[in-house]
Amino acid sequence: MKIEELNAIRDKMKNQVTLRAEDPDSTKVLVAMGTCGIAAGARDVLTAFADGVAENNIEKVMVSQTGCIGNCQLEPIVEILEKGKDKVTYVNMNADKAKEVIEKHLIGGQVVSEYTI
């Protein structure tokens, strides 16, 4: 093995293992996964966020789920909690909108206000 190969494995695995390093400063993406959320397609949204964050190598973002928020007609709901900023709530999400939020909000730092409430 060459050092370049070692580094390649390290970089490939990094996304994997950093999931287990809790960083209190990281931004949290919470997908509501109550029964209604799952019925409305929250699973696809969650997967889209998880994959998108990994593919784009976005650091300090943790994708997780919460339970039902109690707004079933607005599901799938996604909350983004960034340190020192107000909570942003996206509603009626789907996988495509998720990709857009990843690009504009998580990478670009701009809230996609047309999807919020």
Partner 1 sequence: MYRSHVLICGGTGCTSSGSAAIEKALVSEIEKNGLKEEVQVVKTGCFGLCALGPIMIVYPEGTFYSMVKVEDIPEIVEEHLLKGRVVTRLVYQETVTDNGIKSLQDTAFYKKQNRVALRNCGVINPENIDEYIGEGGYQALAKVLTEMSPDDVIQTILDSGLRGRGGGGFPTGMKWKLARNIVKDADQKYVCCNADEGDPGAFMDRSVLEGDPHVVLEAMAIAGYAIGATQGYIYVRAEYPIAVERLEIAIKQAREYGLLGNNIFGTDFSFDIGLRLGAGAFVCGEETALMTSIEGNRGEPRPRPPFPAEKGLFQKPTILNNVETYANIPQIILNGSDWFASMGTEKSKGTKVFALGGKIHNTGLVEVPMGTTLRTVIEEIGGGIPNGKKFKAAQTGGPSGGCIPAEHMDIPIDYDNLISIGSMMGSGGLIVMDEDNCMVDIAKFFLEFTVDESCGKCTPCRIGTKRMYEMLDKITRGQGTLEDIDKLEELCYYIKQNSLCGLGQTAPNPVLSTLRYFRDEYVAHVVDKKCPAGVCKHLLSFEIDPEKCKGCTLCSRVCPAGAISGAVKTPHVIDKDKCLKCGACIEKCKFGAISKK
Q: Which residues bind partner 1 (CB under 8 A)?
A: 1-3, 6, 9-10, 12-17, 19-22, 30-35, 38, 46-47, 49-51, 54-55, 62-68
Residue 42 CB, nearest approach to partner 1 (Å): 9
For the sheet containing 78-81, what is the strand order?
A: 61-66, 27-32, 78-81, 88-90
**61: CB partners within 8 A, 6+ apart:** 26, 27, 28, 29, 53, 106
Q: Which is nearer to partner 1, 46 or 106 (CB)?
A: 46
Residue 107 CB, nearest approach to partner 1 (Å): 17
Give the residue from 93, 75, 19, 20 showing the smallest Cα distance to 50. 19
Q: Which is nearer to partner 1, 13 or 110 (CB)?
A: 13
Q: Which is nearer to partner 1, 23 or 113 (CB)?
A: 23
